[in-house]
Chain A
Amino acid sequence: MDTREVFVSPLTEGANNAYDLISSTDEPGPKKTFEIYHLVKRGKQHVHVGSVLAATPQQAMSEAKKQFNSGKVIYNVWAIASEAIRFTTSEEKELWVTLPDKKFRDASDYKGGDKLKEFLERNQSQP
């Protein structure tokens, strides 16, 4: 997805909620779905919280304020038109499956402890 498709709210800090800086708008026109993301801790990544129906990204922010502003401080909000995001289809679901025969990508697949112990014992028994 192109990052220009991301509509970004102001970034706040301390006890300032980014939603407080978003004004309510109601715009005419056909509505489409926008996905909403929150930054709940500065320094961490944005997390998907849900979707809203709106005519413009500005209105999506305003709708998100109604639906997802629980009073908890949110530092930054993203609104992205769902159609701008490339979703994988159910036929593609195996893209997300980790192959069971890829154990070599896991640290637990490299057990050298026994070999090391045997080596150390062998060395100790030698003069």
Chain B
Amino acid sequence: MYGGGNTFEGIKTDGLALEDPVKLAEFEARIARGEKIEPTDWMPQLYRKQLIRMIEQHAHSEIIGALPEGTWITRAPGFKRKMSLMAKVQDEVGHAQLLYSAAETLGKSREQMIDDLINGKSKYSNIFNYPTFTWADCCFISWLVDAGAIVNQLANAKGSYGPYCRALDRICAEESFHLKYGHHCVIYLASGTATQRQMFQEALNRWWPPMMHFFGPSDKISAHTEVLMRWKVKMGTNDEMRNQFLDMYVPKIWELGFTIPDPNLKKNESGKWEYTEPDWEEFKRVINGDGPCNKERLEVRRVAEARGKWVREALKTPKTEYVTPLA
């Protein structure tokens, strides 16, 4: 589960002038022809850096994203829901493994990525810094956060970096049952008792603002991404992705008789969705560590790392050395 391009940080393109112009032109021509870039191919430093950042953030989002749902496995209503949720959480953690391997092909080790997650240097999807108070919150994530992630992932799977695209193809295949499961859960709440309906409505009210944040800052204020679009690192602007999500899922939410907490939300004549801009100051605050669950989420990872340390140490032999995955 991942929301792409979710920071305000600008990218510095001045280093591009130092790249070999012939190699750069060949690289850009290859991408323009729709070919994939492989780990052993020449690539500009900026491409490498941005891809590491993006794939790493995506991987972190998968393992951190498993936490708010994972806490509901023991409390999921009934054995069937428990089995499904457990399988889903297991998948998310598996997705992180695929993505860490894809990022490693670009030259950053997995240990370094985990360290940067724990020390706060690397980010992950903002939405997982919010709490899951009720079962309905968990259902919101399973259905709508996954839906948002699929919008991003299907777009990114058409990107230019081979190992990332191949990982995303596998991830998207697994996500199909997650989305159906999430929708199934919400249909049951919607067609249930008044209390169940109210529970989901309250979850929707809580999660709508972070869901709007999920696709990253508005194009009006977000960092310049023209070069990243040309290199097929980023496959659509934040607003385009958000619009696609609204187009696909707002009608489904309305169909179930729920109210989306934004009186300005409507589709205009040109087919674009209009909405109240979410509070981007809150988004910045949460991304920088001051959200309701940031500390708790990172603490879980820190404890997991500390507890697993002896196992990793025990597996080492004097000959152990770091090996980068091939592709």
Contacts and interface: CB of A to CB of B under 8 A. Distances in A.
A8 B326 contact: yes
B203 to A, nearest CB: 18
A66 B161 CA distance: 32
Interface residues of A, number: 28
Interface in A91-127: 102, 104-107, 109-112, 115-116, 118-120, 122-123
Contact of A116 (B84, B165, B191): B191
B177 A119 contact: no
B83 interface: yes
A84 interface: no
Contact of A119 (B180, B183, B191, B323): B191
Interface stretch (A16-24, A40-48, A50-58): A40-48
Contacts of B162: 42-43
B288 to A, nearest CB: 37
Contacts of A105: 87, 177
A119 B190 contact: yes
A112 B177 contact: no
A3 B40 contact: no
A104 B191 contact: no
A60 B284 CA distance: 56
A42 B35 contact: yes
Interface residues of B, number: 32
Contact of B177 (A2, A110, A111): A110
B78 to A, nearest CB: 12
A85 interface: no
Given A4-B323, A46-B327, A104 B83 contact: yes
Contacts of B289: none
A118 B190 CA distance: 11
A64 B325 CA distance: 24
Nearest to A118: B191
Nearest to A6: B326
B184 interface: yes
Contacts of B323: 2-4
Contacts of B41: 11
B35 A43 contact: yes
B165 A43 contact: yes
B187 interface: yes
Contacts of A119: 187, 190-191, 256
B181 interface: yes
Nearest to A44: B166
Contacts of A6: 326
B71 to A, nearest CB: 20
Contacts of B183: 110, 112
Interface in B248-272: 255-257
A92 B80 CA distance: 29
B38 interface: yes
Interface of B: 30, 35-36, 38, 40-41, 80, 83-84, 87, 162, 165-166, 176-177, 179-181, 183-184, 187-188, 190-191, 255-257, 323-327
26 contacts: A11-B38, A11-B40, A13-B30, A42-B35, A42-B36, A42-B38, A43-B35, A43-B36, A43-B162, A43-B165, A44-B166, A102-B87, A104-B80, A104-B177, A105-B87, A105-B177, A106-B177, A107-B180, A109-B177, A110-B180, A112-B180, A112-B187, A115-B191, A118-B191, A119-B191, A122-B191
Interface of A: 2-4, 6, 8, 11, 13, 42-46, 102, 104-107, 109-112, 115-116, 118-120, 122-123
